[in-house]
Amino acid sequence: MKKIKLFSALALTLALAACDDFDLPNPPGQTNTDPEAYFENSNLVMAPNSEAINLTAANEANQYVTVANITSLENFPEGYTLEVDMEVGNDNSFSKTTTLSTVIEGDAVTVNPNLLNGAIQSVITKKPGTYDVSSRLAAYAVRNNTRIRLGGLNNYYLTEALNVKTFDAAKVIEDSYYLVPCSADGTPDMSAAILMNNTAGAGVSAYDNPEFAIKIESPVPDGYFFKIAPQSAMTAGSAATLFGANPAADGMSGKLGADYGVGHISITGDVLVTINMEQDSYTVNYAFEVLYPFSGSTAADKLMLLYTTNYINYSGVAAINNQWFLGAKPDKKAEPIFRQSDAEEAVISEDGLVMTGLLTSDQTASQIKTPVRGNHLYWVDVNLVQLTYSMTALNQLSLIGNHNGWSHDTSIDLTASKDLKTWTATDVDLDGGCKIAANKVWGDVDFGGVPAGTDSAGNLVYNLSMKGSDMDIPSGKYDVKIDFSHQPYVMTLTKKN
């Protein structure tokens, strides 16, 4: 039984009265100390539920689950109601959390099993299973519009983990899927099946990221016929549970299902096949090693390219003069070519430096116009699955770090070459942490990196990446050169005597 001592309850109630309790049009000023001080020693004690919690069983029984029991509560004022919020964290650091309301039933603090299951899916994992769930409770005294936290703004009760079995999966998603080549009549060749990659990386649960992709070569002239096999079908060596494909009108996407026939990829060359097993869908896209941002008369071999690691997202720095388009091959006339889509107007940021828009492979479309007139360096992001692009003008690059107290006002400007591929500064004093900032602000673009040894002349070399880590520079005076002509981008430091 919880022990409730109502010492000085009347005094506490008066002290916590809100201003709207007065009948006067201008109520007297409140001179009480911080109301939360009255609750610092409320001596609320809650014992955690040490038993395993089965959310499926509770849901089937139409019952809330108990997460804690109240064993003591002292100096709690009359007229106030005790409320408890439950915070579920990704781990005991609680760096990612979500908060649930609880219901107090007698001494028990309970939560809706559906809400708790959703919280676990939100911050921990969607994969069904039994988990030690990091949780903590915040308690409040509540009356009308007044809600005061017991013990102060950062006080929590019961930071122990709860042992929770989550709901069984409504739809089973396996950890691995394979692209199975087929004959035109749909006969699968299981021995030639290709393991697809989870697009979030190795070790990620398919329930948390049900998207898989693989790059293949679609042969000329017939294209590629396929079905999708889950790991269970591969283990059993059976084609009975393969997923067929029902294509959409565009021929580049469709639905997956056991009752559908063989899928067909009609485009030829390198393609990326992506499946989403939560949505039972697939898409087909070109898979290019690089993209060529053609602008003006610059030849393909002189361009700064956009690079990819997944054949979906491409990015890089590029020199662009007023307008441009994207090519997939080192030939301005070779299809596919991507231009500005007229389905949606491009959007330019308030500062005029960032532009976003949609791409199309329609050969009658117009080139993409830049947000800043003239020849400028841009950071460009492209998503070939969603056919979107973003470009940020890099009007100025500068060195910022320990050497100037990380102040943009005194950062050291770099000077661009005529083709914008290299940026340099001379006789620069550097000491410790350093980055390359764009446009004298901390915005969407800056460059950091990691040591890459020395070049043939003994100069220090750092490999650069967008949003890379701070570079630790040995103290000294240097000539600095940034080179964007190839990847990885590099910074070379020549020590001055």
pLDDT by residue (tens digit) across 432-468? 999 999 999 998 899 999 999 999 999 999 999 999 9
Task: Check residue 39 and give its pLDDT.
Answer: 56
- The H or E element that residue 56 is part of is helix 55-60
**What confidence tier does 160 reach under pLDDT thresholds 50, 70, 90?**
confident
Task: Check residue 297 and give its pLDDT.
Answer: 93
pLDDT by residue (tens digit) across 398-432? 999 999 999 999 999 999 999 999 999 999 999 99
Same fold, 177-286 and 290-393: yes
CA–CA dist 230, 336 (Å, integer):
33
Alpha helices in 124-269 (DSSP H): 231-236
Burial class (CB in 10 A: 0-12, 13-18, 19+), 272: buried
Q: Where are the beta strands (DSSP E) in 112-210?
A: 130-143, 146-149, 161-165, 177-181, 194-195, 197-198
- Between 32-36, 325-329, 351-355, 459-463, the lowest mean confidence (pLDDT) is in 32-36
CA–CA dist 230, 226 (Å, integer):
13
Choice between 336 and 182, residue whose per-residue pLDDT is larger: 182
Mean pLDDT of the chain: 90
pLDDT by residue (tens digit) across 137-156? 999 999 998 888 888 888 99
pLDDT by residue (tens digit) across 369-378? 999 999 999 9
Q: Yes or no: say if 39 and 56 are a contact pair by the CB < 8 Å rule.
A: no
pLDDT surpassing 90 at residue 182: yes
**What confidence tier does 250 reach under pLDDT thresholds 50, 70, 90?**
confident
**What confidence tier does 74 reach under pLDDT thresholds 50, 70, 90?**
confident
| Backbone φ and ψ of 329, nearest 5° | -135, 160
| Backbone φ and ψ of 76, nearest 5° | -95, 125
**What confidence tier does 40 reach under pLDDT thresholds 50, 70, 90?**
low
Average the pLDDT over 199-227 and give the result. 92
Q: Structure tokens of 146?
A: 């007044």
pLDDT surpassing 90 at residue 493: yes
DSSP symbols for 99-138: EEE-EEETTEEEE-HHHHHHHHHHHT-SS-SEEEEEEEEE
Distance between start and end Cα atoms, the chain: 79
Average the pLDDT over 196-206 and give the result. 89
Average the pLDDT over 312-330 and give the result. 95
Q: Structure tokens of 283?
A: 């898409």
CA–CA dist 48, 84 (Å, integer):
13
pLDDT surpassing 50 at residue 133: yes
Average the pLDDT over 373-391 and give the result. 93
DSSP symbols for 331-356: -TTSSPEEEE-TTS--EE-TTS-EEE
Q: Structure tokens of 238?
A: 């059976």
Domain ranges (residues) in the chain: 3-165, 177-286, 290-393, 397-495
pLDDT surpassing 50 at residue 69: yes
- The H or E element that residue 385 is part of is none
Task: Check residue 42 and give its pLDDT.
Answer: 64
From the options 1.10.260.40, 1.10.3720.10, 2.60.40.3640, 3.40.50.2000, give the CATH code of 3-165: 2.60.40.3640
Map tokens 């089965």 to a residue: 54
DSSP symbols for 404-460: GTT-GGGPEEPEEPTTSSEEEEEEEEEEEEEEEEETTEEEEEEEEEEEEEE-TT--E
Average the pLDDT over 131-142 and give the result. 95
CA–CA dist 457, 348 (Å, integer):
44
**What confidence tier does 24 reach under pLDDT thresholds 50, 70, 90?**
very low
| Backbone φ and ψ of 114, nearest 5° | -65, -40
pLDDT surpassing 60 at residue 35: no
pLDDT by residue (tens digit) across 266-286? 988 889 999 999 999 999 988
CATH architecture of the domain with residue range 397-495: Sandwich (2.60)
Radius of gyration of the chain from its Cα atoms, rounded to whole angstroms: 31
CA–CA dist 257, 241 (Å, integer):
10
Among 100, 19, 109, 38, CA closest to 70: 109
CA–CA dist 452, 464 (Å, integer):
10
Topology of the domain covering 177-286:
Immunoglobulin-like (2.60.40)
pLDDT surpassing 60 at residue 313: yes
Average the pLDDT over 3-14 and give the result. 33
- Between 73-77, 240-244, 257-261, the lowest mean confidence (pLDDT) is in 73-77
CA–CA dist 339, 358 (Å, integer):
8
Q: Structure tokens of 442?
A: 């901390």
CA–CA dist 104, 484 (Å, integer):
62
Task: Check residue 384 and give its pLDDT.
Answer: 84
Is the whole model's pTM more than 0.85, yes or no?
no
Topology of the domain covering 290-393:
Immunoglobulin-like (2.60.40)
Percent of the chain predicted with pLDDT > 70: 92
